[in-house]
Each structure stands twice: as structure tokens, then as C-alpha cells.
Amino acid sequence: MLWIACFQGIGEEKRSVIPGEAPLPISALQSAVPGSTASQYVAPLGPDHAAGVTLGPYTAAVLHSFPWRAGWYDLANDIHGTLLIGTTGDLLIEAAASLGLLLVITGIYLHWPRSVSGLREMLVPALHKRGRALWKSLHGMTAFWFSILLVLFLISGLSWAGIRTGKMVQAWNTFPAEKWGEPLSDKTHACMNHDGVNEVLWTLEQTPMPLSGSLARTRAIDRPVTIDSVAAFADGLGFERRFNLNLPDGAMGVWTISHDSMSNDGPDPAADRTIHIDRYSGNVLADVRYADYSTYAKAMAWGIALHEGDLGFWNFALNTAFIVAMIFVSVSGLVLWWKRRPARAGRLAAPPVPADMPMWKGAVLVALVLAMAFPMAGAALLSVIAVDLLVLSNAPRLKHALS
């Protein structure tokens, strides 16, 4: 997903063209695809790029026709978000990400040096060792250096999770539409997400949309309110790189101009901006900027951009290194298990329960805190306990195979 978004575009929209004297009006581009109904316009990334259907902005020629939201990026995004099985997959991924935080905490505890001499091995691989000891050193050192980034990735990834975020955190940090003082729709900003892809800013997704038909607020467009005049107004706002323009949905719908790093519009989350324009009067009904976000919403704006590698080339390079490191940590963890298990064991060969566990109370406390902060982690832990007590205790052979 990281590489596809960088080189091809989220929707395969990155196409180079020969610049002309001036881009054609958007209405002319719209007419180049007869028999279709436009729902969204994505401004070009620059004068030598085409964007959208995909059409050349100078000639209105159709450069490329492809199923919208049906490319390789979207397939990867669906696997990444739902495992291609809908809500069930979303819950499984939320549980895995939540348990990942527990894995990081316990992993750091296991790798933490018990003496001053062990501090070096925590930071630098012990290349003089051989066999399982070398693998253990490489596994622990790599995981330690990337642990902070892993926690940031897990928490920012959980920003779209169905239980913790959708029902709890996002609801607490949703932008209050009452500030606008305008009639509100029964639709939320989430209606501008297309084909299940999260395109709307995290803090606005659950906020109701304003309605057209009000004479209040500031006049933005004096001439007839058309796709060309709205796009011209957006061009004058000085966005870096590009903006998105969502067309009115229904008789009371509004024009929505948005620019955010989450959609690869620009590299700076602090430049995020969403503007709603009355389709009849041309008045600005709402203008939401980064400064209007709650503290948590600001953190999520940066966290999501970091997660997706949208902050610039350094972010792309860092995320690529992180991916390679996590692949190595996963493979080395499997190697360590394989080298630890008895030969021809024929079972998972889990470590035996220690006779003395002086810090078990602290471990239980950490698990309880995580279970309360991340409900799916608690559900997963309870499920494991239930299977152990209700199933494995009555199936000795299965219990032996999993022990």
C-alpha cells in the first residue's frame, strides 16, 4: 500500500501529460465522459499530472479508464482493514493490533537488561554469539529500536477500529457541528467515503453535514455556483499540491472542498482544511481547519499521516525500513521458537509455567489496563481463558498438542 500510493496513486490517478497553455474548465472535463454522473473531483497534483477519471486537464482526452476503487491499492487496503470478510475481519484485526501492544510491553520486559553489562546487548547486536543466542540478540535489538514506532503504528491504525474508536474515542473527539449554527443533515461526513474507503478526516467522519438553502454566513462565490466557480474558489485558497471537491448530494446537499494529508493531498497535517459551500447562495457554511481540532484529533491527524507515509520522502523511507524490520522480527521470532522446541516434539512446545513468578501481579495489572483501554484485547484474552477452561481441559490430546 505504501509503495502503490507513492508511485501509482491511491486510485491509480497518477498520470503524466504534456502541459498546455491552460487547463480546461472542469465542466469540459466532465462532458468528456458522457452518460456518467460525477460525484467527486480531485484536483491535479501539478501542471504535468492528470487526475480523476483519468482525463487530461488540458485536452479533456480520456487517458486511462479503470474501475474506481478496484485497483491493487484497494485490494491491499481491504485485506489490511477487513481481511476481505467485512466486520468480522475488522474485529479480528482490532484484536490483533490491541494484543500487539501487549506483545510490545512484554517483549521490552523480556529484553530489558538485568545488569549494566546487558545494556550494550539491548542496543547493539551480539554478533560474536552463534545459534539461538545470536538470533535472540538480533530479534530483541531490532524490536527494541522500532518499538516506539510500532506503538505509534498500532495506535494510529486503531483509529479506524470499529469498537475502540468507532464507539468510544472517535465519538468523544468528533467536531461539534453546533458551532456552525446552520441547519444540519441527517447524513454525516462519512457519506463522502466512497466504496468503504476512509477518505473523510477522522475528526469529521461522525459530524453531521450542513444543508444548503441558508442565506447566512460569508459569501464566497458571487457568480453562478457551478463546478467551475467552486473549483476556481478552491484554487484561490492556496492549497499545496491538490484538493478534493465533493459534489452536492441531493437538492439540499453542499459543495465540499477538502485538503488533507490523509488523502495524499499534501504533506502537512497542520494544513488540513474542509469547507462546505451552499449550492444555491455560494456562501461558506462551514470552514474547519486544523486549529479547530481537539488535542486528540490533532494527534490522530499526524498519526494517520505518519502511518500512511504521507509526510514526505523521509516518512516513506522510514516506513519502508520499519516494514522490513517487522518482517525480520516476525521471522526471527519463528526461528527462535523452532530452535527452542524439543526435537520431534510434535506440538507447539510452549514454555513451562515457572515455579516462581514474583511479578505476576504487575503483569495482570498491565493486561487489565490494556483490556479496558482496548476492548478487543480484553475479549481476546477472555476467549483464550474460556477455551482453556471449557475446551482444552476436556480434550487432553488437543491440550497436549497446543502445550
Grid coordinates representing 160 are: 479506524
Has residue 226 been placed in a domain? Answer: yes
* Phi, psi angle pair for 60, to nearest 5°: 65, 15
- Main-chain phi, psi angles of 127, to 5 degrees: -70, -15
In a domain, 305, yes or no: no
Give the count of domains, the chain: 1
Cβ pair 175, 210 in contact under 8 A: no
> Is residue 95 within 8 Å of 380, Cβ to Cβ?
yes
Report cis status (omega within 30 of 0) of the bond before 87.
Answer: no
Residue 257: enclosing H or E segment and its boundaries? Answer: strand 254-259
**Structural domain that includes position 218:** 174-293
In a domain, 204, yes or no: yes
Residue type, 129: K
Q: Could you tell me which of 192, 203, 217 has the C-alpha nearest to residue 40?
A: 192
Residue 279 domain-assigned (yes or no): yes
Q: Going residue by residue through the chain, which has 403 residues, state the pLDDT in tens, using 9 for 90 and above.
A: 676 666 666 555 555 556 666 666 766 666 666 666 665 666 655 555 544 456 666 776 766 666 556 677 778 888 888 889 988 998 999 999 999 998 898 888 878 887 777 788 788 888 889 999 999 999 999 999 999 999 999 988 887 777 766 666 776 778 887 777 777 888 999 888 876 677 888 889 889 999 998 776 788 898 789 999 999 999 999 888 789 999 998 899 999 999 998 888 888 999 999 999 999 999 999 999 999 998 988 988 999 899 989 898 999 999 999 999 999 999 999 999 888 888 777 778 877 777 777 777 877 888 888 888 888 999 999 999 999 899 988 888 888 787 7
Alpha helices in 158-212 (DSSP H): 170-172
First-residue to last-residue Cα distance in the chain: 37
Amino acid at 330: S
Question: Do residues 217 and 320 lie in contact, with contact meaning Cβ atoms separated by under 8 Å?
Answer: no
53 inside domain: no
0.85 exceeded by pTM: no
